[in-house]
Amino acid sequence: MRERKFSLYRKDDTEAYVSNWTILGYVLPSIGIFVILMAFITIDPYMAYWVTLLFAWWLVPIIIISAIVLFFKALKKEGILKQCVLRCSLINLLLFLFLVFVRMPLYNCDAVKMAKHYDRKTEQFDELITYAYSPSVTQNPHELKRLLRKAGCLSIDTSNPNYCDIEYKRPWDYAYSYRIYLRPMSADIYSTYLDKSEFIPHNDRMVMMFGGGVTGEIGFSYEQRQEYRKKYITD
């Protein structure tokens, strides 16, 4: 009689086992995408973009294409290989959505957003300015940083006795700032800001400023200025 062999494992189960090196090869492109996304999230997204463009422009397409090809190949597999690739892909998808819908909007700025922020935080700005112009022997750097965070800003320059410049946002080499006068501006001073694209006066004490870098505009765009006029200026 012919002997029959029995096993508790099915043939498909034995084929599902893969080596750790094989799994690593499948998820390596996903790890590369994870590193890139984390760079965009944890540091300035615009800086990460330019650094990637300058030094890794040839590598990013290879990583993305490899990740897509291996993702679809993994879908035909079973077991831990498929699970690892799917989980890595899900993590990267969530990071990408966080970058697009949460992180990037934090860096996007325009004249209307600046005006809304100032109007909402006017008391915090005044508190910051009062403290910054107090005698230097009574100032505490930690308190100054706390007041800056409370006003939602980055730094303050009080070198001018008539006004201070408060930096709001700095995406890459651009700078969005407020120039706030200690006393209301005269009509002559106010008018000097009207013809310069890098300034938009909001009221008799505050002027919004935009400083562009070598890679962009030197002032607020025409579209931004028009949008601000529609929102805040009435004839």
**Contact partners, residue 211, CB within 8 Å, separation at least 6:** 174, 175, 177, 198, 218
Can you tell me the distance from the alpha carbon of 85 to that of 88, in angstroms, rounded to the nearest whole number?
Answer: 5
Q: How confident is the prediction for the chain on average, in pLDDT? A: 87
User: Which of the four pLDDT bands, split at 50, 70 and 90, describes residue 8?
Assistant: very low
Paired with 165 in beta bridges are 157, 179
Residue 184 has pLDDT above 70, yes or no: yes
Parallel, antiparallel, or unpaired: how do β-strands 175-181 and 163-169 relate? antiparallel
52 or 91: which leads in pLDDT: 91
pTM here?
A: 0.67
User: Which of the four pLDDT bands, split at 50, 70 and 90, describes residue 21?
Assistant: very high
User: What is residue 4's predicted lDDT score, i.e. its pLDDT?
Assistant: 55
User: What is residue 138's predicted lDDT score, i.e. its pLDDT?
Assistant: 76
Residue 109 has pLDDT above 70, yes or no: yes
Domain ranges (residues) in the chain: 11-107, 111-232
Residue in this structure with the two tokens 């030197």, named with its chain if needed = 218
User: Which of the four pLDDT bands, split at 50, 70 and 90, describes residue 207?
Assistant: very high
41 or 179: which leads in pLDDT: 179
Can you tell me the distance from the alpha carbon of 173 to that of 175, in angstroms, rounded to the nearest whole number?
Answer: 7
Q: What share of the chain is helix, strand, coil (3-state, %, to 5)?
A: 60, 10, 30
**Contact partners, residue 174, CB within 8 Å, separation at least 6:** 46, 210, 211, 212, 213, 216
User: What is residue 36's predicted lDDT score, i.e. its pLDDT?
Assistant: 92
Instruction: For residues 29-38, give the mean pLDDT.
Output: 94
User: What is residue 213's predicted lDDT score, i.e. its pLDDT?
Assistant: 61
